[in-house]
Chains A and B, each alone.
Chain A
Amino acid sequence: QSALTQPASVSGSPGQSITISCTGTSSDIGHYNSVSWYQHYPGRAPKLLIFDVTNRPSGISSRFSGSKSGNTASLTISGLLTEDEADYYCSSYTTDTTLVFGTGTRLTVL
């Protein structure tokens, strides 16, 4: 149950697009289309942005999109806003019938 690997930090300017990667193995990301992405402001409840690789829950902006290729999933945020500055986590279902989270990425909007 090793954590999925994410870059520690990414940055972008308002209006730009950024992509956060999430690398796992053939026992998690590569095995199931059960990748989720969460936005987390410290001290607050995390928010689900993407589930099942590409799906957005009701109320989530279309600026957030997800994809997957092999053992790596990605979250793209387009049209960056200052309010997007937060921590982002991926997660995946695994062949051990558990969930595993990514290491987390701090997004800075310059």
Chain B
Amino acid sequence: QVQLVESGGGVVQPGASLRLSCAASGFTFTNYAMHWVRQAPGKGLEWVAVISYDGSHQFYADSVKGRFSISRDTSTQTVSLQMNSLKSEDTALYFCAKDGRVGSTTGRSADHWGQGTLVTVSS
């Protein structure tokens, strides 16, 4: 069965960096785009970024563009989110999610999700 396990969350100060990881298993990793989605405390879901099935394309929400970078490693079946210049408004539970469409470059829907990893940005 599909499993997505996020890690790397923690408490950091504004302006710091953090790298989140998502270990994927139970499906053909190289066939699917992967997303990061976040949920700030008491708020709704916010899409953050997607990386295409082959890693050739990455797309970002305006709120993180230029600060966050998504990547994938086929050898370890891991998706990562490098977060730089963190702000207090980046405080959220970050979910990794698998796209539902084989061979998608842009991603259209997330059919499996991890449990999330919590990022807190505070001085």
Tally chain B residues at the interface, Cβ within 8 Å. Answer: 26
| Residues of chain A lying within 8 A (CB to CB) of residue B116 | 45
| Residues of chain B lying within 8 A (CB to CB) of residue A100 | 47
Q: A51-B100, A57-B100, A99-B107 are in contact. Are A46 and B61 (CB under 8 A)?
A: no
CB of B45 within 8 Å of the partner chain: yes
Question: Across the A-B interface, how many residue pairs have beta carbons closer than 8 Å?
Answer: 70
Q: Taking chain B's interface residues, is the majority helix, strand, or loop, or is none over half, making it mixed?
A: strand
Contact of B59 with A98 in the complex, beta carbons under 8 Å? yes
- Listed by A's residue number, 7 A-B pairs whose Cβ atoms lie within 8 Å are A36-B108, A46-B45, A48-B109, A48-B110, A48-B111, A48-B112, A87-B44
* Residues in B lying within 8 Å of A, measured CB to CB: 35, 37, 44-47, 50, 59-63, 95, 97, 100, 106-116
18 additional contacts, CB 8 Å, given A34-B108, A98-B59?
Answer: A1-B62, A1-B63, A45-B95, A46-B110, A48-B100, A48-B110, A51-B111, A52-B108, A52-B109, A57-B100, A89-B44, A93-B107, A99-B35, A99-B47, A99-B108, A101-B37, A101-B44, A102-B44
